[in-house]
Amino acid sequence: MSSKRALITGITGQDGAYLAQLLLQKGYSVHGLVRRSSHAGVFDHRLKWLGCAADVRLHDGNLLDLSSILRLVQEVQPDEVYNLAAQSFVTASWQQPLLTGQITGLGAVNILESVRTICPQARFYQASSSEMFGLIQETVQSENTPFYPRSPYGVAKLYAHWMTINYRESFGLHASNGILFNHESPLRGVEFVTRKVTDGVARIKLGMAKELRLGNIDAKRDWGHARDYVKAMWLMLQQDQPDDYVVATGRTTTVRAMCEIAFRHVGLNIDDHLVIDPALFRPAEVDVLLGNPAKAQSVLGWQPETPLEAMIEEMVTADLERLRRAV
């Protein structure tokens, strides 16, 4: 077992919770950054769902506040730092482009600066994103595909991505980017399309709703499971050399086909309930994403383990249980 200390920003989010669980299983002492909220009782609901809230040490601070990050890094003296905090919802990034740039872009530099200043020997992971490929320049995207972001979120992530590479090359930090394609789970925020679908289907099944309203169902995504993807994050920081890796399944599916899996799982017909709402279309769309995980497979020995069908069914089942408990 390890006696390493890990610091996770974004520990209250989907990936932060799964990563905390993985690192605790490996014997790490896990520390997390939490921003102050008036929702005191619910901010750690994902960690509680995974049964690890009591085992992590949470620290107040904000990625926007360099002084709080400096103090946190000084106090924790981490061996590994995972920067998962972000304004991560693409739709919101058109409404709040400046805040998205500050958190998702500049926020990464606050933590890079803190690591460089206080513990330059620590290993650093940056949560980069397939959204940076945006208007795709190659049918299958790899580490060598040129970027063309299509949202303020994608642009902010690209800035953080290149700053991570620059800190690696300028200051010798062990800093790696994981270019992760979409990954989901029962802990996914309900604003993202998979969870919106599984929650919506569960509500229809239980008689709590009649329809599910979606935007562009022709968009295609390469969807994997968050539980599998956090393993790739950890593996990147176990390598002798820092590097950048695409993490994906190598399979792409339309939003409509993903929805059909969810409806089929509870014995409902999608065409009886799905409503297309033009208000939910985006100012600019990323039409299709399809990643090539060959480098992660060969160098890290990483494999996606959960097929889309199994993941969507797990999510529908979890939403049915959650909603039944709530009534």
Among 110, 182, 185, 292, binds ligand F7E (CB under 6 A): 182
- The verdict on 33 binding ligand NAP (CB under 6 A) reads yes
Nearer to ligand F7E, 78 or 291 (CB): 291
- 7 makes contact, choosing from ligand NAP, ligand F7E, none, with CB < 5 to 8 Å by partner type, with none
Instruction: Tell me how far apart the terminal alpha carbons of the chain are, to the nearest angstrom.
Output: 42
CB atoms within 10 A of CB 269: 10
Among 5, 6, 7, 10, binds ligand NAP (CB under 6 A): 10
Nearer to ligand F7E, 28 or 181 (CB): 181
- 193 makes contact, choosing from ligand F7E, ligand NAP, none, with CB < 5 to 8 Å by partner type, with ligand F7E
- 145 makes contact, choosing from ligand F7E, ligand NAP, none, with CB < 5 to 8 Å by partner type, with none
Among 103, 115, 230, 236, binds ligand NAP (CB under 6 A): 103
Output the six-digit token pair for 324: 């039944």
Nearest 10 degrees: CA dihedral of 226, 220, 131, 46?
-30
DSSP letters spanning 10-38: TTTSHHHHHHHHHHHHTT-EEEEEE---S
The mark string for 119-138 relative to ligand NAP (x by CB under 6 A, - otherwise) is: --------x-x---------
Nearer to ligand NAP, 228 or 260 (CB): 228
Tell me the window of 10-18, 22-30, 52-60, 232-240 that interacts with ligand NAP (CB under 6 A): 10-18
DSSP letters spanning 247-308: E--S--EEHHHHHHHHHHHTT--GGGTEEE-GGGS-SS---B--B--HHIIIII-------H
43: CB partners within 8 A, 6+ apart: 12, 34, 37
The mark string for 264-283 relative to ligand F7E (x by CB under 6 A, - otherwise) is: ----------------x-x-
- Please count the CA atoms within 13 angstroms of the CA of 100 that sit on its side-chain side: 19
Q: Cβ distance 262 to 201 under 8 Å?
A: yes
- The verdict on 182 binding ligand NAP (CB under 6 A) reads yes
Helix (H) or strand (E) holding 128: strand 123-129
Residue 37 beta carbon to ligand F7E: minimum distance, rounded to whole angstroms = 20
- The verdict on 253 binding ligand F7E (CB under 6 A) reads no
Cα(263)–Cα(274) distance, integer angstroms: 10
- The verdict on 14 binding ligand NAP (CB under 6 A) reads yes
Cα(179)–Cα(243) distance, integer angstroms: 11
Q: What would you measure as the largest C-alpha separation in the chain, in angstroms?
A: 58
Output the six-digit token pair for 233: 């994050």
- The verdict on 97 binding ligand F7E (CB under 6 A) reads no
Q: Cβ distance 296 to 247 under 8 Å?
A: yes
Measured at CB, which residue is nearest to ligand F7E? 219
Look up residue 105 and give its amino acid. Answer: G
Among 103, 214, 290, 316, binds ligand F7E (CB under 6 A): 214
Question: Contact residues for ligand NAP (CB under 6 A)?
Answer: 9-10, 12-16, 33, 35, 37, 43, 62-64, 84-88, 103, 127, 129, 180, 182-183, 189
Question: Contact residues for ligand F7E (CB under 6 A)?
Answer: 88, 90-91, 129-131, 181-182, 191-193, 196, 214-217, 219, 221, 255, 280, 282, 285-286
